[in-house]
Every structure is written in structure tokens, then in C-alpha cells.
Structure 1
Amino acid sequence: MAEPQDFELTVCIVIFKPDRPTVTRTLESLRRALHFLSPSHVRLTIVDNSPGASDHAWLTSAWGDLPCEIISGQGNIGFGRANNMVLDRAGKYHLVLNPDVEMERDAIEQALMFMRENADCGLLTPQAFNPDGSKQYLCKRYPTLFDLLLRGFAPRWLKSLFQKRLDRYEMHDQPANSVAWDPPIVSGCFMFFRGDVFRKLKGFDPRYLLYFEDFDISLRTGEIARIAYVPAVRIVHEGGRAADKGLWHIWQFLRSAAIFFTQHAMKVF
């Protein structure tokens, strides 16, 4: 059996009651982006947090004949804990990937090239776009409670009154097409780790069921390695606001925010 260090790249995708067309597009995109690597150097793991028995034939069909492990039956243990199930199997480089991300054909190649040339980089974040082509901002400054509530739940008219503040929080002043070092927080939708850094962090904090686990691991990564925004790595991320997903998601957002601000410094305004 191959050891983790034998894999140039490992990828983990966590799904929960997945939208099949969306996940299929993600897998097809990932497969195209891996065209330059030997299948023996890559391993994909899909962790299915859906309740009950699931049909996975469509996943293997979408992925094709490349190696893939599917873990299921554990129920909804949360995004972080699900990703941690492959912690001891992370390769030289490890990609945490959302099931609603499509990437450019050269995205993985560009990411590997940058990591190989910058040994001090422990985590890479890409340039992201919304499906309509507009810019998406994955890098964030350290949040205040006001910023989070405003961004996540405020009506559009109220947001417009604080647009400059929100733009600063989302680091709109960061040059779009230049490498930027050490953003405090980056999104969990595409986290390209150096494998030994991911293991040293012991992965995600399992207390977060959903939301803020990426905030926490970004801050912890910044304590032991550097984070880089690399615009040559380009993705499209569907994403979505917690407030648009119902009361359960709102509750998880607030619960995770409480954990985050208990663990890290709270700034109210």
C-alpha cells in the first residue's frame, strides 16, 4: 500500500446531500486540472456526510478510472472533522476542496509550481470568481462581530451604507493580479496546503460543525507558515450566504462565531 509521502497531491472533498450536477462539474474540473500528473501520484478522497445509505455509483462514474476512496456512514460530523478523517493520509501537498468549485485547467499545475518555488508557503489561496464572472474575495482581514453580522445578515440598503468598511474587510485593496503574502484569513473552499503543515496543525478544529473552521485554521497556519494569495490559480466558486439557507444554517453560523471569538480575540466594532 502506498504511503502518504508517495503521493504528490492528495485531495479531499466533503459532501452532504449533494447536488449531483454541481459535484459532477467539480470532479470533471478537478480531473482536467490533474492532466499533467501521473494517476499514481494523486489520491482523491470524498467524504460523504449525508445521513443513511447513499448511492455512490454516480461519483465513481463522474471521476472515471482514477483512484478514489469514498468514506461514508459517519453521518453529519461536520466539515472540519470530515476533512480530518484523511489527516494522516495527506500527501506532500494536500487540497481541501469544496464540492461547488470549478477550476481552470492549469490551476493545480500553477499551485504546485508556486509551492515548489516558495518553501516558506504553507497554504495557498486562489483568485476566485462568482459564476457570473464577478470577482469573489477569498481573503479577509480579522473580523469584528459587526463586520460578520453586517456581511452575513444585513439587507442590501444597510450594507451600502458601510460599503467601504466591507470592502476593507474583504481586502478589496489587495491587487487582483499580483501575489500577496500573509492575508490573515482565507476561504475554506480551496485550501492548498503543504502536507506537513496540515498535519502539524492537526487539521481543522473539530468543535466547528460548519462555518469559521477556515477562519481558525488560517490564523493557526499563519503562526507556523506563510499564506499566499496566488492569482495565477483561478477558480469559480458558487458559494452562498448563511442567511439564505434557513434557520439551521443561521444557528450554526452564530454557534461557530461564538466558538471563534472565545478562542480568538473578540472585536465588536
Structure 2
Amino acid sequence: MNAIPPQRRTTARPDQADAGCPLSISIVVYRPDAALLARTVETLDAALADLLDVAGHTRLYLIDNGNPGEFADLPAPMDEGVETIVIRGHGNVGYGRGHNLAIERTRSRFHLILNPDVELNADGLRRALAFLQAEPGAGLLAPWIGGDDGAQQFLCRRYPTVLDLFARGFLPGSLRKFFARRLARYEMRDVIGEQDIVWDPPIVSGCFMLFRTDVLKSLGGFDPRYFLYFEDYDLSLRTRDFARTVYVPSVRILHHGGGAARKGSTHVKLFVTSAFRFFNRFGWKWL
């Protein structure tokens, strides 16, 4: 994967706005896995190329939360209809605040929040934008999500209990099986599937959130008080005050992310801190 050509590697200023741009995209990275990020950009490039005739110009924001010089060359789509803006030098401000640096700049019609460990189907963005254009009441679209093995990840959620989060995030598989029924309900396995569109799932995953930009701006983007984890839960629940959320399984991605417990003690601490903040805001539900 080539680095960004010099003539396209620009530094965003607060006054830079993509007025008239149908689609903008933001990806936040912090010491990224180079191979995964390159694959994300490669599949994004294919999806944007398939979209060029209907969406025209697209602006991609790459937000580097690392220290200067840690990851000098961020790959970017080579499609001629994509302008890439690299935002860096602000340090590790957190996932949500990183995306907010792009959200506050954009003036697009739709904005995609995307993880750097996601692969998109070539026709995914075309299908997603077509759906939103046909359904003006939909403000946030969530896709079908597969894992490393291609099997579906159930990342649409009902409102969690503390027990749900503990069982799903921290119990080994040998013990998690005793909570299978309650976790299946939490993960909406009774309604989230391969074919049916599902309206108003309470919570959707932050690895791919396609918003109407006016809805996202009305929400003020992510709550900056979350450094990592639960910022997507918070944003999903707040979206209900402005528009409907919809799960559209014809839009497909692969997600290579992992759980907090598998990433070490620092991530466990961040997970617990954010969970505490989330429940304090929306209400505690233990069992």
C-alpha cells in the first residue's frame, strides 16, 4: 500500500469544510496495525470507486492520535474522487474526541465513522447511501458485521446490565455458556440476522456508524468524557432523540477487533471507567 502522495497530503485547518460533499469519513488511529489499516484503506478504496458515479467527491479524515513520528506514513485511498486530510499533532485524546476533530469540520450530507480494523464489501457504501436516501427517517445505519472467521458478530445490543457486560467481556468460554440465553437476548440474536432490516436497535457498534451529518452534528458528536469504550453506546442511545437507527444486513463489513479483557490491564481499567460513566448517565441495571 502506497503512502499518501505529497500533493494530496494536507493538514486540516478549522476553516476547511467539505461543503457540498455528499460523503465524509473519519478513521482514528493510535499506533495502528499497519497491515490491518492498509486492508481497511484498500477495501474502502474499492467501495468508494463503486460509489463515484453517485457520490462524487469524498473527503477522508485520518486522525492520528499517536505521537509525531510514530507512524509517519498513513495509507490513503488512491481513487481520484477522494481527498485525504491527515489530522495529527494533538496527541492521544481518545477515540471519540479524535473523531470529533473531523465531525466539527465536515459539512457533508453523510458521515461515516469507521474503525481502522474493518474491511468493507465493495458495494457496501453504495447500498448504505441508497438506503438512507430512500428512508429520510433513518439517521444512523448499522451494517451486518462478520469476524475473522466470517461468522456474524452480533454487535447490535439491547440496553446492558452489569452482569451482561461482565459475562460477555470477562468470563472464559467454559463459564460464559451458562449465560448463553441472557447474552443472546442482550446481543439481539432473536431479531438480528442475515436478511431482515431491523429498525431501532438501541445500541450499535462504533466500528461502522453511517450518520446523516446533520443528525450527528445535532448530537454534538461523541461525548468527549469517554476516552475509550462505551462512547458508541452513549451516541447510539442519544441518537433516538433526533432520528431512527436501522440495521441493514445487505451492507456488510468484516471487523477484526477484540475485547477489552484480551488487550491487557490498561484496557480493562478503561472499560470499567467508561462503563461506570455510562451507567451513571443512563441508569444502572444490575441483573
TM range (shorter): over 0.9
Cα deviation for residue 52 of structure 1 reads 3.3
1:77/1:3 CA distance change after superposition, 3 Å = closer
5+ residue gaps in structure 1? none
Match of 1:199 in 2: 217
Residue aligning to 2:132: 115
SS in 1 for 2:222: coil
After TM superposition, the score normalised by the length of structure 2 is: 0.90
Q: Percent identity?
A: 45
Partner SS state of residue 143, structure 1: coil
3-state DSSP of counterpart to 1:150: helix
The residue number in structure 2 matching 1:233 is: 251
- How far, CA to CA, are the matches of 2:192 and 2:231 in structure 1? 26
Q: Equivalents in 2 of 1:254, 1:187: separation in Å?
A: 18
Deviation at 1:135, TM superposition (A): 0.9
State the Cα deviation string for residues 158-182 of structure 1 (Å, max 9, x = none): 1100101101100001141110000
Partner of 1:170: 187
Code of the residue aligned with 1:8 in structure 2: it is P
SS of corresponding position for 2:90: coil
Residue pair 1:53, 1:73 contacting (<8 A) in 2 also: no
The DSSP-based 3-state class of the residue aligned with 1:59 is coil
* Match among 39, 46, 49 for residue 32 of structure 1: 46
Task: Give 1:25-174 correspondences, 5 Å limit.
Answer: 25-35=39-49, 36-37=51-52, 41-60=57-76, 63=78, 66-90=82-106, 91-174=108-191
Between the aligned partners of 1:64 and 1:118, the Cα distance in structure 2 is 28
> Which residue in the other structure is 1:10 paired with?
24
Deviations 1:153-202 (A, max 9, x none): 01112110010110110000114111000000000000000000000000
Letter in 2 for 1:97: L
Aligned to 1:224, the other structure's residue is in SS state: coil
Task: Write the letter of the residue equivalent to 1:48.
Answer: D
- Rounded Cα–Cα distance in structure 1 between residues aligned with 2:65 and 2:16: 26
Residue 262 of structure 2 is matched in structure 1 by 244
> Could you list the runs of 4 or more consecutive aligned residues of structure 1 that deviate by over 4 angstroms after TM superposition?
62-65
Q: Distance in 2 between matches of 1:19 and 1:160?
A: 32
Question: In structure 1, how many angstroms separate the alpha carbons of the residues matched to 2:52 and 2:240?
Answer: 29
TM-score of the aligned structures, taking structure 1 as reference length: 0.95
Say whether the 8 Å CA contact 2:117–2:255 is kept in structure 1: yes
* Gap runs ≥5 in structure 2: 1-14
1:94/1:194 contact within 8 Å kept? yes
Q: Does 1:21 align with 2:35?
A: yes
Query: In the TM superposition, what whole-angstrom CA distance separates every residue of 1:71-116 from its partner, at most 9, and x where no partner exists?
Result: 1111110000000001233310000000000011000000000000
Paired residue type of 1:46: L
Q: Deviations over 1:125-154 (max 9, x none)?
A: 000111211111120000001100110001
Moved more, 199-208 or 148-157: 148-157
The separation in 2 between residues aligned to 1:125 and 1:11, in whole angstroms, is: 15
Partners of 2:29 and 2:78 lie apart in 1 by 15
Match for 1:37: what amino acid?
L
User: Do the aligned partners of 1:125 and 1:138 also contact (CA within 8 Å) in 2?
Assistant: no
Check whether the contact 2:28–2:116 (CA below 8 A) recurs between aligned residues.
yes
Verify the 8 A CA contact 1:110 1:232 in the aligned structure 2. yes
CA contact (8 A) 1:80 1:209 kept: yes
Aligned-pair RMSD on alpha carbons?
Answer: 1.6
